[in-house]
């Protein structure tokens, strides 16, 4: 049994850095790299790509709304053609930098509000898939099971990667609970590690109301934008190993 472990990286700007990229890239197998629209800049993108190339981590384009002030966590009512162009721009920017570092973009995972919006917003979902079509490579796409944009991507022949979040609470409908709700984001490393093992081995997770949901993740996400991210990711990796679950990049 094997599973991928991903984290959001390169989420800084200039002299400010939110994520401990070097430490996390020694733990995770896939790196969702900020492309400059919600966070990140060319210097940080190049640094993360170089480290990922040296550790063998797969690089994913963490595309987002054009929203540096809001860290990409606010819905933007952008017209589909503009969203297509924005996503295409981010894909080419990161892929160009990755190739200069001796690697390449190997999958796509939207960030924040864009990630949650295209679960159900079909016009924006189509806009993101159109950007992938224009990019011209059959990149795997990562997201929540049941998301509209994943269905559209699959219809275009793109490989679909389902992910689960051991450090986030789930609603009874199988969606991620908002960060601001009580219990929306988990912080206890051992609890998160135990949930990760359950997701990988039993394909289930307990929702906020106590109901048991089915999940079948190809990848587990541990958020990198918290002070305890490295300790949490280490606990998850250790727990998976102790459960005889191998970590391996899907891409």
Strand partners, 16: 13
pLDDT of residue 179: 76
Query: Cα 204 from chain centroid?
Result: 20
pLDDT tens-digit profile of 206-223? 999 999 999 999 999 998
Name the residue among 166, 163, 165, 207 with its Cα closest to residue 189.
166
- Structural tokens at position 90: 């981010």
Band of pLDDT at residue 250, cut at 50, 70 and 90: confident
Alpha carbon separation from 196 to 45, 63, 205, 220 (Å, rounded): 28, 25, 9, 7
Q: What percent of the chain has pLDDT over 90?
A: 86
Q: How far apart are alpha carbons 85 and 37 in whole angstroms?
A: 12
Asked if pLDDT for residue 32 goes beyond 70, the answer is: yes
Which of 80-84, 91-95, 172-176 has the least mean pLDDT?
172-176
In CATH terms, the fold of domain 2-247 is: TIM Barrel (3.20.20)
Strand partners, 61: 33, 108
CB atoms within 10 A of CB 197: 18
Name the residue among 106, 108, 39, 114 with its Cα closest to residue 80.
114
Element spanning 56, H or E: none
For 175, residues 6+ apart whose C-beta sits below 8 A from its C-beta are: 116, 119, 144
pLDDT tens-digit profile of 188-206? 999 999 999 999 999 999 9
Band of pLDDT at residue 184, cut at 50, 70 and 90: confident
């Amino acid at each position: 049994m094997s599973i991928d472990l991903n984290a959001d990286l390169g989420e800084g700007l200039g002299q400010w850095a939110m994520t401990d990229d070097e430490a996390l890239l020694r733990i995770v197998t896939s790196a969702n790299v900020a492309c400059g629209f919600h966070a990140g800049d060319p210097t940080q993108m190049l640094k993360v790509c170089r480290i990922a190339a040296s550790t063998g981590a797969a690089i994913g384009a963490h595309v987002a709304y054009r929203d540096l002030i809001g860290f990409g966590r606010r819905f933007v009512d952008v017209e589909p053609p503009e969203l297509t162009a924005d996503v295409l721009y981010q894909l080419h920017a990161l892929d160009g930098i990755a190739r200069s570092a001796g690697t390449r973009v190997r999958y796509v995972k939207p960030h924040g509000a864009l990630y949650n919006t295209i679960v159900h917003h079909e016009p924006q979902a189509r806009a993101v898939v159109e950007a992938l079509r224009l990019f011209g490579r059959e990149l795997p796409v990562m997201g929540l099971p049941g998301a509209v944009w994943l269905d559209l991507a699959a219809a275009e022949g793109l490989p679909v990667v389902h992910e689960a979040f051991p450090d986030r609470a789930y609603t009874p409908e199988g969606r991620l609970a908002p960060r601001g709700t009580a219990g929306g984001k988990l912080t206890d490393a051992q609890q998160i590690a135990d949930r990760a093992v359950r997701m990988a081995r039993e394909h289930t997770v307990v929702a906020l109301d106590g109901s048991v949901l089915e999940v079948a993740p190809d990848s587990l996400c541990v958020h990198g934008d918290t002070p305890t991210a490295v300790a949490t990711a280490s606990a998850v990796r250790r727990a998976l190993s102790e459960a005889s679950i191998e970590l391996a990049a899907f891409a």
